[in-house]
Chain A
Amino acid sequence: MRKIKTNNDTKGYRELKSRPKTTREALLGRLPPRTAQHIRHAHILKGIREIPRVGWEDWELAVAATLRSLEKQRYDKANRYYHAVQRIEVLLAAVRRRSAELEATAAELERTGVYLQTLMDTMVDVLVTTDTEGTITDVNRATELLSGYNHTELIGQPFHQFFTDPERARAGIARVVTHSAIADYQLILITKGGWQVPVGYNATVLLDLYGRPIGVVGNVRNITERKQAEEVLRRQTEELQRSNAELEQFAYVASHDLREPLRKIQAFSDRLQLTMGSKIDERERDYLERMRGAAERMQTLINDLLAFSRITTRAQPFVQVDLNQVMREVLSDLEVSVEQTGGRVEVGNLPTIEAEPTQMRQVLQNLLSNGLKFHRPEEPPLVRIYSSLLPAPSLNLDGRGALGNEFYQILVQDNGIGFEEQYLDRIFTLFQRLHGREDYEGTGMGLALCRKIVERHAGHITAKSKPGKGSTFIVTLPSRQPAVEVQVA
């Protein structure tokens, strides 16, 4: 006899063993009622009333097969439950982990949110967020302060309705959406109190993850102060232009109306001298001569003054100037006075700089002719003109000139009478002279003219000297000039 391979504790096995065996009813009694019913029905159809007794072995085999099948079903079922439970547990763990993460993120987000909100509310600039149509979606505290409207009065309202020119404001928003940003777009805000505030609108488009515009975040800056500063600057410029125009007018008046009476004095004193002829004596002739001379000097002074004012009123644009070329022209002009004084002029290499050529010529001509003029009686003049590139750190030009610019020194050195350096300021002042007219002629104009020209070129002029030991005039000039010249009358 073979042992049936089922577990001892398999459900129903012990009961099966304890039951009387072999009858049909006993079998049917072990089956579920419906199945037994079907079997009975089948037997009836086949005309079988009694099933012959089945052999023990066959019976056990059949029962075992049935039981094993049942067992397998039960086992599979249990197994399925077990797996399901396990899966659920895994999922639950994932959910728990995930929710912990979410909580952390939420906390972080909240912190960030608070931080951003604080930042937005404490910042001085107005921050306005709108959707792409321009409807306000968020504002900060500064917005409320500037506009006078509170949060709820602003949110949901069209951005453009708060400006004097709504169409322009609307166009601004549209531009941000199409061009992704806008800078310093000028608008005039109308506050709740009815004030008009000039503002500059700077904005950037907000994009979603797919790069589609979803809104506009913009900064509205109160530019009243800037506008006022611009206004002040504009007025000052106007003022300056007006005063320049007046100066020009003055120059014109000086050149014509002041010269006119002088010319008459000259003409009629001359006429008098001619008509009187031999009828006047030497002393009377001298008086007339002095009158004429004084008128002539005044004429020169007026001409000098006019030339001085023309440095700025009749200024020409700066161009590249080769000072060597300018120097050659000056030398040819002064050839006669070099010969007359028996002097000598030595010229070194000079730079090419951005300047006004005629004015450079005036400077070099004045300095050179001074060098020739103020020579010691016993010694013919020797004037040396040379230049050097100035090492940058030694500059002290009161902030004049621009960074990255090169500065040249042009030195005019003579062996003449020299002067006390305590008079340094005086010699560069208009009509100031250190010598009597009878010793050295001139109106005291030359160096003042030089200084004004050099300063118009953002440069500097000074001199070193000792009486009897000659003088060196040092002109410092930048190689390049600023694009826009500041006109100072």
Chain B
Amino acid sequence: MNIHRTPVVLMAEDDLEDRLLLKEALDECEFNQDLRFVGDGEELLDYLRRQGKYRSPHSSPQPSLILLDLKMPKKDGLEALKDIKEDLHLKCIPIVILTTSSSEDDVYSSYALGASSYLVKPGQFRLWIKLVKVVGTYWFEHATLPLDAQIT
């Protein structure tokens, strides 16, 4: 069965306030996740490939789930998504898009590139809580993640 280890959630997000809102919403829901942040698409890939400042496995445990913002500096979310899904070692990690954009183009492109889900950032904090609760319950209580399957 499951080894009791804390699942790692990696959030690629350049906006510090959105990081704060997500973190506080997670705390509010009393989920017990190891939440880590990267600031743009390049950092995300460095983390996943253990390059640059993420060389040590301790500083970069493999995430069970990636929350990916689309509009980020250097390498945006869609580019990072494409790179990850083209990488044989990384393509299994579920990626949930969490963005402000509700444009049709972005939604289509994200799913076409292999995103597992597409969520739009809510305006009110209580909606953040609601969203995090639903996502957390789904991915960490009901869904079986590739990392768990590997270990059992």
Which of B41-49, B58-66, B117-125, B135-143 is found at the contact surface with chain A?
Answer: B117-125
Q: Determine the distance from Cα of A256 to Cα of B77 in the docked complex, in whole angstroms.
A: 15
B75 within 8 A of A: no
A227 within 8 A of B: no
Which of A260-268, A318-326, A378-386, A427-435 is found at the contact surface with chain B?
Answer: A260-268
A266→B24 contact, CB < 8 A = no
Residue from A263, A266, A271, A274 in contact with B100 in the complex, judged by beta carbons closer than 8 Å: A263
CB of A132 to closest CB in B, whole Å: 61
CB of B122 to closest CB in A, whole Å: 8
B100→A259 contact, CB < 8 A = yes
B17→A271 contact, CB < 8 A = no
- Most chain-B CB neighbours within 10 Å: which of A271, A274, A292, A299? A271
B125→A270 contact, CB < 8 A = yes
Q: Determine the distance from Cα of A475 to Cα of B64 in the docked complex, in whole angstroms.
A: 57
Closest to B99 in A: A256
CB of B21 to closest CB in A, whole Å: 6
B101→A256 contact, CB < 8 A = yes
Interface size on B, residues (CB 8 A): 15
Contact with B along A196-224 (1 / 0, CB 8 A): 00000000000000000000000000000
Residue from A255, A268, A270, A299 in contact with B126 in the complex, judged by beta carbons closer than 8 Å: A270
B37 within 8 A of A: no
On chain A, the residues within 8 Å of B121 by CB distance are: 263
On chain B, the residues within 8 Å of A271 by CB distance are: 21, 24, 125
Q: Determine the distance from Cα of A260 to Cα of B121 in the docked complex, in whole angstroms.
A: 10
B128 within 8 A of A: yes
User: In the complex, which residues 237-288 of chain A have their Cβ closer than 8 Å to any Cβ of chain B?
Assistant: 255-256, 259-260, 262-264, 266-268, 270-271, 274
Chain A interface: which size bin?
10 to 19
A267→B128 contact, CB < 8 A = yes
User: In the complex, which residues 63-107 of chain B have their Cβ closer than 8 Å to any Cβ of chain A?
Assistant: 71, 100-101, 103
B15 within 8 A of A: yes
On chain B, the residues within 8 Å of A270 by CB distance are: 123-126
The total of Cβ contacts below 8 Å across the A-B interface reads 37
CB of A288 to closest CB in B, whole Å: 12
Q: Determine the distance from Cα of A270 to Cα of B103 in the docked complex, in whole angstroms.
A: 25
B100→A256 contact, CB < 8 A = yes
On chain B, the residues within 8 Å of A292 by CB distance are: 124
CB of A130 to closest CB in B, whole Å: 60
Q: Determine the distance from Cα of A271 to Cα of B124 in the docked complex, in whole angstroms.
A: 8
On chain B, the residues within 8 Å of A263 by CB distance are: 100, 121, 123
- Most chain-B CB neighbours within 10 Å: which of A263, A268, A295? A263
Q: Determine the distance from Cα of A376 to Cα of B123 in the docked complex, in whole angstroms.
A: 35
**A256-B71, A260-B15 as given contacts; A267 in contact with B123, CB under 8 Å:** yes
Q: Determine the distance from Cα of A263 to Cα of B121 in the docked complex, in whole angstroms.
A: 9
CB of A85 to closest CB in B, whole Å: 109
A266→B124 contact, CB < 8 A = yes
CB of A252 to closest CB in B, whole Å: 9
A264→B17 contact, CB < 8 A = yes
On chain A, the residues within 8 Å of B21 by CB distance are: 267, 271
CB of A154 to closest CB in B, whole Å: 63
A268→B125 contact, CB < 8 A = yes
Q: Determine the distance from Cα of A75 to Cα of B10 in the docked complex, in whole angstroms.
A: 143
CB of B112 to closest CB in A, whole Å: 20
Q: Determine the distance from Cα of A438 to Cα of B149 in the docked complex, in whole angstroms.
A: 58
On chain B, the residues within 8 Å of A296 by CB distance are: 123
- Most chain-A CB neighbours within 10 Å: which of B100, B122, B125, B128? B125
Q: Determine the distance from Cα of A112 to Cα of B121 in the docked complex, in whole angstroms.
A: 88
On chain B, the residues within 8 Å of A274 by CB distance are: 125-126
Closest to A260 in B: B100
CB of B85 to closest CB in A, whole Å: 24
CB of B30 to closest CB in A, whole Å: 15
A299→B123 contact, CB < 8 A = yes
Contact with A along B14-25 (1 / 0, CB 8 A): 010100010010
Q: Determine the distance from Cα of A72 to Cα of B126 in the docked complex, in whole angstroms.
A: 150
On chain B, the residues within 8 Å of A295 by CB distance are: 123
On chain B, the residues within 8 Å of A259 by CB distance are: 100
Q: Determine the distance from Cα of A219 to Cα of B87 in the docked complex, in whole angstroms.
A: 67
On chain B, the residues within 8 Å of A262 by CB distance are: 123
Closest to B129 in A: A274
On chain B, the residues within 8 Å of A266 by CB distance are: 123-124
Closest to B102 in A: A255
On chain A, the residues within 8 Å of B101 by CB distance are: 255-256
CB of B24 to closest CB in A, whole Å: 7
On chain A, the residues within 8 Å of B123 by CB distance are: 262-263, 266-267, 270, 295-296, 299
Q: Determine the distance from Cα of A66 to Cα of B97 in the docked complex, in whole angstroms.
A: 145
Q: Determine the distance from Cα of A262 to Cα of B100 in the docked complex, in whole angstroms.
A: 12
Q: Determine the distance from Cα of A137 to Cα of B85 in the docked complex, in whole angstroms.
A: 75
CB of B119 to closest CB in A, whole Å: 14
Closest to A264 in B: B17
User: In the complex, which residues 19-39 of chain B have their Cβ closer than 8 Å to any Cβ of chain A?
Assistant: 21, 24
CB of A268 to closest CB in B, whole Å: 7
CB of A184 to closest CB in B, whole Å: 43
On chain A, the residues within 8 Å of B103 by CB distance are: 255
The 10 closest A-B pairs by CB, nearest first: A271-B125, A270-B125, A270-B124, A266-B123, A267-B125, A263-B123, A264-B17, A266-B124, A267-B21, A274-B125
Extra A-B contacts (19), CB below 8 Å, given A271-B125, A292-B124 = A255-B103, A256-B71, A256-B100, A256-B101, A260-B100, A262-B123, A263-B123, A267-B17, A267-B125, A267-B128, A268-B17, A268-B125, A270-B124, A270-B125, A270-B126, A271-B24, A274-B125, A274-B126, A296-B123
**12 A-B residue pairs with CB within 8 Å:** A255-B101, A259-B100, A260-B15, A263-B100, A263-B121, A263-B123, A267-B125, A267-B128, A270-B123, A270-B126, A274-B126, A295-B123
